Amino acid sequence: MLTVSGLLEGRPESAGLPLELVSGATGVDRRIASPHIQKTGLALAGFDHYLQPGRILVFGESEIRFLDGLEPAARRQALTAAFAHDIPCVLVTAGLDPSADLRASADRHRVPLLRTPVPTPVAIAKLTTVLEDALALREVVHGVLMDILGLGVLIVGESGIGKSECALDLVVRGHRLVADDVVELRRRGETAVIGTCPELTRHHMEVRGLGVINIRELFGVASTRASKRIELVVRLERWPDGSAARDGDRLGLDDAFYEVLGLKVPLVQMPVAPGRSLAILVEVAARNQILRARGRHAARELAARLERALGQGGDR
């Protein structure tokens, strides 16, 4: 949950949304539960039951002008009805000056009254972006996140299986490191999971036998990046002793997925064994996923050709 004070302390001006607390300071502990903004001018005309709790209420020029045109008693009644709902705060846009009644009602009901000089449409868009980031679901996973040919690849597996060594090989091959060992994940919207590295360990990697190394200093600025959307998960798995191949779908006809923060991300299960170049295999897996995203599925295309060939052979 995000409070109004947390929103103000989160430096929204860095996102182009300067906010000023005008009144209602005693209610800054109110919680913002949703990134969706409500601009329900009808709430001031008696239809306040449409107001949703936990969502910021925006007053633009039309709402401010409507309030200014009401008789004082009617204005106070309309504000009382609106503030009776569990709204976290009210944002006045376009630098408009709230009336004395609006300020007093905000103080009386302990509803923070904020003001921004940004026009209403831009303010709503920027505030939504700020809230989506602040309210995003978050998780920390043990793994390595790489940018391979523009594709965000999360490499996971048991400790000591070779994730960092694989990532180092990929960096040498010209790909970019996002995070090693600890990957911070946050969900953005309904379709994307973004991975970042904790500030303390950014650009660093721990490799057994070498210790901690600074990838950016060793390979240059282009070898790292701050964050990346996760579009493929590669899980490294040990082969059972004495086995020649792992069990499962060897042709790759069946799609597998890895659930991250409630979203399913394409998964490749990569067997680990002596003599296998993991970096090359992970890079090829990334290239193959890029082709699949474009509608090219090599295994299914080959299976379809085989079926056509068998069908033609049976007709003879």
Strand order in the sheet with 57-59: 20-23, 113-115, 90-92, 57-59
Which residues, in sequence order, are bridge partners of residue 214?
A: 204
- Catalytic-labelled residue, pool 31, 142, 296, 305: 142
- Catalytic-labelled residue, pool 30, 163, 203, 228: 163
39: annotated active-site residue: no
Q: 250-278 burial, b for 16+ CB within 10 Å, e for fewer?
A: eebeeeeebebbebebbbbebbbeeeeeb
Strand order in the sheet with 263-272: 227-229, 192-196, 176-188, 138-148, 151-156, 232-238, 263-272, 257-260
250: annotated active-site residue: yes
163: annotated active-site residue: yes
Look at residue 124 and give its three-state secondary structure: helix
Which residues contact residue 285 at a Cβ distance below 8 angstroms, ignoring those fewer than 6 apart? 153, 232, 234, 268, 270
- Catalytic-labelled residue, pool 250, 254, 294, 315: 250
Yes or no: say if 70 and 78 are a contact pair by the CB < 8 Å rule.
yes
**Quick one: how far is CA 232 from the chain centroid?**
15
- The DSSP output letter for 223 is G
Yes or no: say if 224 and 204 are a contact pair by the CB < 8 Å rule.
no
188: annotated active-site residue: no
Measured distance CA(234)–CA(266) in Å, rounded: 9
Amino acid in position 301: E
Which amino acids are annotated catalytic?
A: 142, 163, 181, 250
